[in-house]
Amino acid sequence: MIAAALSRRAALAGALALTTALPLLGCAPARADGPVAGGSVADRAVARRAGPRSFAPLIKRILPAVVNIAVEETVRGPDPLADLPPEIRRKFRDRLPPEAQHLTGAGSGFIIDPAGLIVTNNHVVGNADKIVVGLSDGRSYPARLVGSDELTDIALIKIDAPGLLPYVTFGSSRSLQVGDWVIAAGNPFGLGGSVTAGIVSAFGRDLGASPFDDFIQFDAPINPGNSGGPLFDNQGRVVGMNSAIYTPSGGSVGIGFAIPAELVSKIVNQLEAHGTIQRGWLGVTLSGGSGASPFTPAGPGGVRIVSVIPHGPAARAGLRAGDIVDAVNGRKLGSARALQRAIALAAPGSRVELGCTRHGHAFNLSVEVGLRPRIELN
């Protein structure tokens, strides 16, 4: 079984044979004359979280902002003349160019601005030569890449369409609990706008794809082509972006992964403003970080600093080897990777408050975050 990104370059005819009709999941609320209607505030909150008898009214409102994405990419094969002397390569270059393949693929996205800004996965559009966005009303428009980030697998594209487009807004994945209803929308197998529903299964899943893995796991069926599509809560807010599945066969087995909305929105804001990502940097080596297992959880006291890079941000602030960091801006750390993520998402030049322990004594340390060099992880 493998974790697989949800973009597949396959003929639609072949994809159709892999799909089956799935019933829309739902949960009937308590009867209006039941105990919940006249119960406590907590009881009524549970009733709201339980989900509607039908998701249809919600789907009608949010689905117009979900788009289909078609991409074309040119991939050149190995140069058949690469091992020949230069003079022979020059002689035969025009007669025998490297073979090129034109690949097509399909993915999903969602509109976040009525002017045509669309969020999707980097692995859907990052290497595309041509991007075409299909709207829910049947119109299609060419798109340009505003910016993308390979490490978080997030991309921002733009279309120019007449008038204002329907759009959706980001919510907070932190408002979710395991067991809450979620709705996944997208373009599975290139079939067009589709929705499925399920519940949140777990938080903080790490697939080993990058230092910033922090996936929401859910059981709403998603398949190749759903990449880049939104994951909604039952209020119609985007709480994640569907990005990967865990599968033995290439199709859904009910284990899907979404990038949390908090990370998506932060990356998208930077891509819109700058087209690239500038990440924060602390200038330390961590126990369980670079050079050790990145999956190591934080100990009872937090994440231990193994070494401090001279003249780096941490050194200037007074952090020392052997110090333990257990919180960033008041948020407790669960692993070395959590510290990496928190610092990387801080804007270079901004200040973060670290909760630290040194020789058993707790203290807070304010650090001005540096600009993360490409070769560094922490």
User: Which region among 100-104, 203-207, 212-216, 274-278 has the lowest average model confidence (pLDDT)?
Assistant: 100-104
For the segment 1-16, the average pLDDT, to the nearest whole number, is: 42
pLDDT higher than threshold 80 for residue 297: no
Contact indicator for 73, 129 with CB cutoff of 8 Å? yes
Q: Please check whether residues 1 and 138 belong to one and the same domain.
A: yes
CB contact at 8 A, 326 and 301: yes
**In this structure, what DSSP letter does residue 352 have?**
E
- How many structural domains does the chain have? 2
* Average pLDDT of the residues in 349-377: 87
Which residue in 7, 148, 153, 213 is the catalytic one?
153
pLDDT at 208: 76
Compute how many other C-beta atoms are within 10 angstroms of the C-beta atom of residue 72. 14
Residue among 7, 108, 227, 243 flagged as catalytic: 227
Domain end: 276, 292, 326, which one? 276
pLDDT value for 292: 38
Q: With a cut of 50, say whether residue 293 has pLDDT above it.
A: no
What is the average per-residue pLDDT within 344-371?
92
- Residue 50's pLDDT is 58
Mean pLDDT over residues 256-264, rounded? 95
pLDDT the model gives residue 97: 56
The whole-number pLDDT of residue 99 equals: 63
Domain endpoint, select from 230, 251, 276 = 276
First to last CA, the chain: 31
Within a domain: residue 70? yes
Show the DSSP H helices in 37-121 as ranges.
41-50, 56-62, 86-92
Q: Same domain for 129 and 108?
A: yes
Say whether 213 is catalytic: no
Distances (CA, A) of 6 to 23, 70, 128: 21, 13, 16
pLDDT at 363 > cutoff 70: yes
Q: Which helix (H) or strand (E) holds 256?
A: strand 256-260
Q: Are residues 5 and 118 in the same domain?
A: yes
The residue-averaged pLDDT of 289-308 equals: 62
- Final residue belonging to a domain, choices 245, 276, 307: 276
293 token code pair: 């297992």
CA distance 103 to 81: 23
169 in a structural domain: yes
Could you tell me if 186 and 294 lie in one domain? no
Is residue 350 among the annotated active site residues? Answer: no
Closest alpha carbon to 347 in 331, 371, 330, 366? 371
Q: Is-catalytic flag, 153?
A: yes
Statement to judge: residues 345 and 293 lie in one domain: yes
Looking up residue 336, the CATH number of its domain turns out to be 2.30.42.10
Q: Are residues 228 and 349 in the same domain?
A: no
Give the pLDDT confidence of 40-90 residue by residue, as tens digits.
555 545 555 556 688 999 999 999 999 999 999 887 666 555 566 665 555
Q: Are residues 245 and 312 in the same domain?
A: no
- What per-residue confidence (pLDDT) applies to 302? 83
Domain ranges, residue 333: 280-371
Closest CA to 18 of 326, 234, 252, 213: 252
Does pTM surpass 0.75? no
With cut-offs at 50, 70 and 90, classify the pLDDT of residue 344. confident
The verdict on 199 and 71 lying in the same domain is yes
The span from the CA of 237 to the CA of 53, in Å, is: 19
In this structure, are 147 and 254 located in the same domain? yes
User: Are 181 and 231 found together in one domain?
Assistant: yes
pLDDT digits (tens, 9 = 90+) for 156-175: 999 999 999 999 999 999 99
Given the residues 7, 123, 148, 194, the one annotated as active site: 123
